Amino acid sequence: MSDPTPEHRARRAASFGARATEYARHRPDYPREAIEWGLSGATGTPNRVLDLGAGTGKLTLGLTALGLDVTAVEPDPEMRAELARAVPSATSLAGRAEQIPLPDGGLDAVFVGQAFHWFDVPEAMTEIARVLRPGGVCVPVWNYEDESVPWVAEFTELGRDGARRPASVEDLRHVTHPAFESFECERFRHVQRRTAESLLETIATYSMVIVSAPDESAALLNRLRQFLATNPATANGEFDLPLVTTALRARRR
């Protein structure tokens, strides 16, 4: 399950619509504290917010829960359909990070949940700068399993090819753009209530699993299923999956 070529990576980036319903059902939400931390980087009181690469609306839900005026932009029609069902109060638009279908300077914040590493980052940052007002903030966030917990570290190592975090995530802390101040980084503890089968359904929504040959994906999921069935923390019904949410924020100059 390697990622050897730009073409393969592009397939991964475009793969999620095939599992849109499962993505909506099984991917975790984002902690309120992470969202509020991101918003606090903006000058003034933020209200007009974009969820860019919004997927099925996992982050959109958290933004609307704070009473914000939220627009969600997502290129995949299947993902966007799930978003519209989950968050009917948000404005949902077709679009991509490198060509955002919104006017100049109208936003207080741009959030990106689990998608920033798929962007053409320099081009996307220029577009994000265009739609943000001065003092607005760009906030990419990611949920990942908390590998400081021993069984979680063992689980993710066992499924490393299909369940790993993108290597570029930590590197993105050092992204620079003349329109933005430097990125700050913070992490937040989070949990998701799971069963062994629902956790496997989550793994099956990972892009590397979706685009792999069926026998490779089946072998990976079988290894992980056997681990969960014999691990005391996960073998009997529901359990809390420990997560860490990594959030970045950079203020528009």
3-state secondary structure 179-240: CECCCEEEEEEEEEEECHHHHHHHHCCCHHHHHCCHHHHHHHHHHHHHHHHHCCCCCCCCEE
231 to 95, 150, 234: CA distances (angstroms): 43, 11, 6
Task: Calculate helix-pair angle for 214-230, 196-203, nearest 10 degrees.
Answer: 150
CA dist 27 and 19 (Å) reads 11
4 to 7, 9, 12, 159: CA distances (angstroms): 9, 8, 12, 18
DSSP reduced 3-state for 250? strand
Tens-digit pLDDT string for the chain (253 aa): 445 577 766 777 667 767 889 999 999 999 999 999 999 999 999 999 999 999 999 999 999 999 999 999 999 999 999 999 999 999 999 999 999 999 999 999 999 999 999 999 999 999 999 999 999 999 999 999 999 999 999 999 998 754 445 545 667 878 999 999 999 999 999 999 999 999 999 999 988 888 889 999 999 999 999 999 999 999 999 999 999 999 999 999 9
CA dist 129 and 136 (Å) reads 9
Amino acid sitting at position 29: D
pLDDT at 1: 46
DSSP reduced 3-state for 98? coil
Picking from 143, 227, 230, the residue whose alpha carbon sits closest to that of residue 187 is 143
pTM for the structure as a whole: 0.91
The structural domains of the chain, with segments of one domain joined by +, span: 6-251
pLDDT at 14: 64
Domain 6-251 of CATH type 3.40.50.150: yes
CA dist 115 and 38 (Å) reads 16
pLDDT at 4: 54
Question: Residue 232: is it exposed, middle or buried by C-beta count within 10 angstroms (0-12/13-18/19+)?
Answer: exposed
Look up tokens 């993505």; give the residue. Answer: 23
CA dist 227 and 156 (Å) reads 11
pLDDT at 19: 82
pLDDT at 8: 60
